[in-house]
Structure 1
Amino acid sequence: MGAALRRIQIGSALSAFGLGFTVPYLYVYVAQVRDLGAGTAGVVLGVFAMAALAVLPFTGRAIDRRGPLPVLIVASVIASLGALALGLASQVTAAVPAAAVLGAGTAVMQPALATMLVRCTGPSTRTRAFAMQFFLQNLGLGIGGLVGGQIVDTSRPASFTLLFLIEAVMFLVLGAIAATVRMPRTSVAAPGVAADGATPRGGLRVLLSHRAMVQLCVLGFVVFFACYGQFESGLAAYGTEAAGIEPSTLGVALAANTAVIVIAQFVVLRLVERRRRTRVVAAVGLIWAFAWIVAGYAGLGHGSQTMATAAMISTYALFGLGESMLSPTVAPLVADLAPEAMVGQYNSAFALCKQLALAVGPAVGGPMGASLHGPYIVTFVLFSLGITALALRLGRRLTPVQDQPSLANVPSRVVAVSVPQEAAAEVPAPVAAVH
């Protein structure tokens, strides 16, 4: 990795380390430690998610106009203030706005970091860079959660304040590291954007006319809805209610998920980086369908409690295997589809779809996992198979190099760009013929 990319990865890992201190304990902190009740805790978590939905539609344009670096620095400061305010909040009137500020800041950091990775890599190195980011973020979250677990004490609110203070400091460290990064200059003007690199007014219109990107956003929504949106809601409820596992076992299952990601990431990377991206994503859908069937055995198979527990842990581990296959495929594909001056908007659009799935997933999966055990499993087996179908369909809209970057003999940002349909009409004939 170059110096700029190395610093970005370190900053991203440290911010994930800070998040790991608080994410597993946010509900307990609001509901029990601050004694604000389960209802208020639900509102705080909801506001955290809704704040992200509110800011992401504007984030992409800011990144493309101002650059990802200043946007990331501002977002890290905002997130730090939100974390500090939440750690000191003892009333509803303080906790809710603090959660909104924290949610907005952390949401903006995601597409800003992704755009910085794009600027510091080419098509031949981008897959490995995103895989490295995913690996380091999961490692940071896992270590942060383990260390935070040794600090927390529900009888001492000050211990939770310390967690949020550490998180706030880690966000500031991210901003400080980002401020030292010298981003490479971009000079390629892509079809559908102005010659000076400015984002056109019709940026959203251009994105929506790009059928491959729209299909990728739909695929991303289904991916995050069927997996990440169920981890701490529907699947957890199903495991405790239908499979009868102890709540503490969920922590072991999440640890197994993280362990598989950390162990398998670079082994999997070697297997997938020279294969078609959409075929890899299609395989993830099949793996996750099998994972849901294993979960079905845990809750509906009427086996021993030991077998049910092992099956639930295996389900989380299988999800981790699929996640390690997605990290080097989906995020780099978003970047390769984006015109040069719209990378921020494309990354933000995909992040918005992800956030929508994370908001809708628990609302749908939670009640189903708790009471409708059979329909819950069948529904998400079908959603997982839907991932496979959507991925194969998307593959028909991609160029060979977009679907399999290893086919490119010479790394080129232009070769990797997929031209939205309306913009293609304005491209000179020799360039359009390439695509």
Structure 2
Amino acid sequence: MRRIQAGNALSAFGLGFTVPYLYVYVAQVRDLGATTAGAVLAVFAMAALVALPFTGRVIDRRGPLPVLVGAALLAGAGAVSMGLAGNVPAVVLSAALLGAGTAIMQPALATMIVWTSDSTTRTRAFATQFFLQNLGLGIGGLIGGHIVDASRPGSFLLLFGIEAAMFLVLAGIALTVRLPRSLSLHELRPENAEAKARGGMRALLGHKAMVQLCVLGFVLFFACYGQFESGLAAYGTEAAGIQPSTLGTALAANTAVIVVAQFVVLRFVERRSRTRVIAAVGLIWTVAWLIAGYAGLGHGSQAMATAAFVSTYALFGLGEAMLSPTVAPLVADLAPESMVGQYNSAFALVKQLALAVGPAVGGPMGAALHGPYIVTFVLFSLGISVLALRLGKQLTPVQDKPALVSKSRVVAVHKPAEAVETPV
């Protein structure tokens, strides 16, 4: 687990070096224009949507380790080629490789974490992953910002080279991991023969709790992550008069809250109902959107508007810190033994869809329809609470509250009346 988490942190560190500057690199440094830069960002996202539907089945058949290594090598090749690319076809192909590689890593890493944890340690394991990802992205972006220079293309080649090196380090660390079979899902829970017989996607779509979790996940990512750098940023600059430099401060506040609060929040979260924690996140984000409404629609000073806008991002960070120990472990606990990779990939696909749709919807609304924009996302945040409480009715007591497992490891399957109890 320590090796997996270290590799995860280093890969996030490498991504932080380049992702914030990809648009500037393509549009200005390579002088390919804003249209090409927008196309590159779209290809980066679309590559994930194309790759993820096939990833889960490969993980379940071949195991997460070779998939992770292959994805890291693919992303490394994309990073190197992006640093060397000088024309439109080259940057588009590089974006496709980089986007596909980084997307495939997500379910592979999640499945490896599942394989090296059990129901009593999984919550903390996923919280640690989220913490290290944000820490790596934040430090990488900070250091990268001091290295990058739009007048020197060589500085970008250095950034992409460091990113590629981090992906190679991840692959190297992964190759040293020996997944402990004693903690694999084969020993932790009974084989779900019915789901296996019905087939992958058909079985997943027939699993009511997982379908509800995917719907909830889409709303979560659409209403938060999908607005960070699009709708909310447009709303802040247009309605609240926020300076572009303040957007960086707001994002830094978001990351700082996650880093500072993650393990404090974890102590509160890990012994409570997962669905009620998610419902509480919906209420916190409702308050965040109302504060954003005050920043843009209120009549206070510019300083008050700026403070309110930064506070919005900070509250989003608090909600994210509460979600990381709840949502990802719940996906793992819902998955049958033979379909862990497919469940993780399906949820990653839902996330990517939300991140693709979110900016397309939120960007124009945030820039032009200020009042309707705030009302829309207040309603979406309240919807998170409603969907979370409805999901709770589909879960077994142990799936919703893993703290019920104390001296005995109790692993519940899909029917509430069935459980397997194994002495530690």
Alpha-carbon separation, structure 1, partners of 2:14 and 2:77: 13
Q: Following superposition of structure 1 onto structure 2, how do residues 255-334 of structure 1 map, counting pairs within 5 Å?
A: 255-334=252-331
CA distance in 2, matches of 1:391, 1:379: 19
Question: In structure 2, what is the equivalent of residue 389 of structure 1?
Answer: 386
- Residues 65 and 199 of structure 1 are in contact (CA less than 8 Å); yes or no, is this contact kept in structure 2? no
Uncovered stretches (5+) of structure 2, i.e. residues with no partner: none
1:67 aligns with 63
Pair 1:117-2:113 in alignment: yes
What SS class does the counterpart of residue 124 from structure 1 fall into? Answer: coil
Amino acid in the other structure paired with 2:247? L
Distance 1:290 1:356 in 2: 25
Contact 2:412/2:420 (<8 A) preserved: no
C-alpha distance in structure 2 between counterparts of 1:203 and 1:90, whole Å: 42
Residues 1:143 and 2:139 are matched in the alignment: yes
Counterpart residue identity of residue 294, structure 1: I
Note the aligned Cα RMSD (angstroms).
1.7
Matches within 5 A, 1:156-195: 156-185=152-181, 186=184, 187-188=186-187, 190-193=190-193
Alignment-mate amino acid for residue 348 of structure 1: S
3-state SS of 1:123 partner: coil
Does the CA-based 8 Å contact 1:274-1:406 persist in structure 2?
yes
What is the 5 A alignment of 1:347-362?
Answer: 347-362=344-359
**What is the CA–CA distance in structure 2 between the aligned matches of 1:175 and 1:433, rounded to whole Å?**
36
Q: State yes or no: 1:25 paired with 2:24.
A: no
Deviation at 1:37, TM superposition (A): 1.0
Letter in 2 for 1:157: P
**Matches of 2:125 and 2:267, distance apart in 1:** 13
Q: Which runs of 4+ in 1 moved over 2 A?
A: 186-194, 198-201, 409-412, 416-419, 430-434
For the pair 1:83 / 2:79, whether they are aligned, the reply is yes
Contact map agreement 1:124 1:411 (CA 8 A) in 2:
no
Match in the other structure for 1:404: 401
1:38-57 matched pairs, under 5 angstroms: 38-57=34-53
Deviation for aligned residue 1:95: 0.4
Corresponding residue SS for 1:182 = coil
Q: Give 3-state SS (helix, strand or coil) of 1:177's partner.
A: helix
Q: 2:3 aligns with which of 2, 7, 24?
A: 7
Partner AA of 1:276 in structure 2: S
8 Å CA contact 2:192–2:337 kept in 1: the answer is no
- The Cα of 1:191 is off from its aligned counterpart by 4.2
* Bigger mean CA offset, 66-75 vs 401-410: 401-410
Long gaps (5+) in structure 1: 425-429
Contact 1:256 1:317 in 2 (8 A): yes
Q: Name the CA shift for 1:431/1:271 in 2 (closer, same or farther; >3 Å).
A: closer
Superimposed CA distance per residue, residues 150-189 of structure 1 (whole angstroms, 9 cap, x where no aligned partner): 1000101111111111001100100000000000123347
Instruction: Tell me how far 1:88 sits from its aligned partner.
Output: 1.1
Identify which range, 23-32 or 327-336, moves more after superposition. 23-32
- Give the stretch that moved more between structures: 36-45 or 11-20: 36-45
Determine if the alignment matches structure 1 residue 241 to structure 2 residue 225. Answer: no
For residue 288 of structure 1, report the CA deviation from its aligned partner.
0.3
**TM-score, normalised by the number of residues in structure 2:** 0.96
Whole-Å separation in 1 of the counterparts to 2:340 and 2:131: 23
Distance 1:262 1:325 in 2: 12
Match for 2:332 among 332, 335, 358? 335
Contact 2:191 2:338 in 1 (8 A): no
Q: Distance in 2 between matches of 1:199 and 1:166?
A: 42
In structure 2, give the amino acid aligned to 1:165: G
How far has the Cα of 1:193 moved from its partner? 3.7
- Tell me what 1:108 maps to: 104
Instruction: State the 1:23 CA deviation.
Output: 1.1
Q: Is the 8 Å Cα contact of residues 190 and 341 (structure 1) preserved in structure 2?
A: no
State how far apart, in whole Å, the 2-side matches of 1:418 and 1:18 are.
39
> Is 1:364 aligned to 2:361, yes or no?
yes
- Give the letter for the 1:131 counterpart: A
How far off its partner does 1:132 sit?
0.5
Q: Percent identical across equivalent pairs?
A: 77
Quick one: distance in 1 between partners of 2:147 and 2:193?
Answer: 51
Amino acid aligned to 2:314: A
Contact 1:336 1:418 in 2 (8 A): no
Separation (CA, whole Å) in 2 of partners of 1:163 and 1:149: 10
Q: Aligned AA for 2:192?
A: G
Give the letter for the 1:12 counterpart.
Answer: N
- Whether contact under 8 Å (1:337, 1:402) holds in the other structure is yes
AA matched with 1:112: A
Contact 2:40–2:95 under 8 Å retained in 1: yes
Say if 2:338 is the partner of 1:344.
no
- Give the C-alpha shift of residue 261 in structure 1: 0.3
- Go from structure 1 to structure 2 and tell me whether the alpha carbon gap of 1:411 and 1:228 turns closer, same or farther (over 3 Å shift): farther
Match of 1:92 in 2: 88
Query: Within 2, Cα distance between the matches of 1:132 and 1:36?
Result: 39
**Quick one: distance in 1 between partners of 2:58 and 2:198?**
13
How many residue pairs get matched?
Answer: 417
Letter in 1 for 2:286: A
Q: Is the contact between residue 413 and residue 419 of structure 2 (CA under 8 Å) also seen in structure 1?
A: no
Q: What SS class does the counterpart of residue 411 from structure 2 fall into?
A: coil
Output the CA distance in 1 between the equivalents of 2:407 and 2:81: 49
Partners of 2:197 and 2:108 lie apart in 1 by 19
Provide TM-score, normalisation by structure 1: 0.93
Deviation, structure 1 residue 433:
9.9
Cα distance, 1:192 vs structure 2: 3.4
**In the alignment, is the contact (CA less than 8 A) between 1:281 and 1:391 conserved in 2?**
yes
